Amino acid sequence: MYRSMLPLIALMAALLSPASPAADQTLRIAAWNLEWLIAPEEFRQLADTCVPRDASPGSRKRSIPCNVAQELERSALDFQALERYAKQLDADVVALQEVDGVAAARKVFRNHDFCFSRREGVQNTGFAIRKGIPHRCGEDFIDLSLDDRVRRGAVLIVYPGDKRELRLLSVHLKAGCPRRPLDDPRRDCQTLAEQVPILERWIDEQAAAGRRFAILGDFNHDLLAGTGPARNEQGQPRNFWAEIDDADPVGADLVNVAEGQRFINCAPDQNYRSYIDHVVLGAKLAEWRVPDSFVRLTYDGRDALERKLADHCPIGVDLRLPR
């Protein structure tokens, strides 16, 4: 009699026991600049009409520098290696930079959907989203491109209309000012300084609307190195992080997931000093961050030597979303 009741007792115990933490859903978000990732057929066409390095492409919307044409034509083995690292990263959502579009991205992310900015140029920002995850591609964040002089931001809404809704922004900001203050007279720093207040406005809009949000991608700047006030005596932006992380309005307080983490180069032959790729969480989304879940996926030394991978590698974090 007792033995026959064991299954019933077990079922009742399961129903009456409190929900376990496993009931929550873990979502991994990451950022990865894939360095001029272009589908092979398109790459060959662009290589035939390449532009000398640092020369203006003129009125041509789609072009690649000749040094890229000579050095970065990827073989099937190169794409297979990148796909292997994408599987190892195992992220649910990856913010992408320097990707031509869906045809190129699908060579690396086979089981994903995609959202990309609609800029005509070869380098676009976007997202790879694991199939099955509800999402909506947002409108391009065109203002960030300074009239398409630089790259647009790509917006993604994950779990739209759900209590788990997230708003993500993939960015690739102006290169050439990685550690200098924004008021440095160099042209690259001046361009970056134009982008930062625009980015801050987007952050403030999300916070004011009470959204959970994140900015992911290649900021081309060490956000953890800046010191001093946000602006100089003339009112010009100076400290990137202080400018965007001002906690005004409420909810605009930010968390850089790399803060407190040891910097790790992508490959043995690199000698960079700090992160310029970042995952930055808004205050409400930071509440869902899984402790000690910082992700930095690096390349095997042999792959780095033999395969054409990318000069950046992924950075990410895990989030615990309610069911």
pLDDT in tens, 246-275: 989 988 999 999 999 999 999 999 999 999
pLDDT at 243 over 90: yes
Banded model confidence at residue 71, pLDDT cuts 50, 70, 90: very high
Q: CA nearest 134: which of 164, 96, 91, 169?
A: 164
CB count within 10 Å of CB 214 equals 29
Average pLDDT over residues 287-306: 98
Which backbone phi and psi does 128 adopt, to 5 degrees? -110, 125
Average pLDDT over residues 161-169: 98
pLDDT at 38 over 90: yes
d(CA 14, CA 11): 5
Average pLDDT over residues 109-129: 97
Average pLDDT value over all residues in the chain? 93
- Looking up tokens 């690649």 gives 64
pLDDT at 9 over 60: no
Per the CB < 8 A criterion, the answer to whether 226 and 241 are in contact is yes
Average pLDDT over residues 105-123: 97
pLDDT at 12 over 60: no
Which domains does the chain show, CATH number per domain? Answer: 24-312 (3.60.10.10)
The answer to which of 44-48, 73-77, 114-118, 247-251 has the lowest mean pLDDT is 247-251
Q: CA nearest 261: which of 213, 227, 296, 226?
A: 296
Torsion of CA 235, 236, 237, 242, to 10 degrees: -20
Q: What is the 3-state secondary structure (H, E, C) of the chain?
A: CHHHHHHHHHHHHHHHCCCCHHHCEEEEEEEEEEEEECCHHHHHHHHHCCECCCCCCCCCCCCCEHHHHHHCCCCHHHHHHHHHHHHHHCCCEEEEEEECCHHHHCCCCCCEEEEECCCCCCCEEEEEEECCCCEEECCCEHHHHCCCCCCCEEEEEECCCCCCCEEEEEEECCCCCCCCCCCCCCHHHHHHHHHHHHHHHHHHHHHHCCCCEEEEEECCCCCCCCCCCCECCCCCECCHHHHHCCCCCCCCCEEECCCCCCCCCCCCCCCCCCCCEEEEEEHHHHCCECCCCCEECCCCHHHHHHCCCCCCCCEEEEEEECC
Banded model confidence at residue 30, pLDDT cuts 50, 70, 90: very high
Banded model confidence at residue 217, pLDDT cuts 50, 70, 90: very high
Average pLDDT over residues 18-28: 69
Give the pLDDT confidence score for residue 56 in this predicted structure. Answer: 79
Give the pLDDT confidence score for residue 23 in this predicted structure. Answer: 61
Give the pLDDT confidence score for residue 3 in this predicted structure. Answer: 44
What is the C-alpha radius of gyration for the chain, rounded to an integer number of angstroms?
22
Per the CB < 8 A criterion, the answer to whether 305 and 273 are in contact is no
Average pLDDT over residues 169-198: 98
- Looking up tokens 């041509």 gives 60
% of the chain exceeding 70 in pLDDT: 93
CB count within 10 Å of CB 55 equals 11
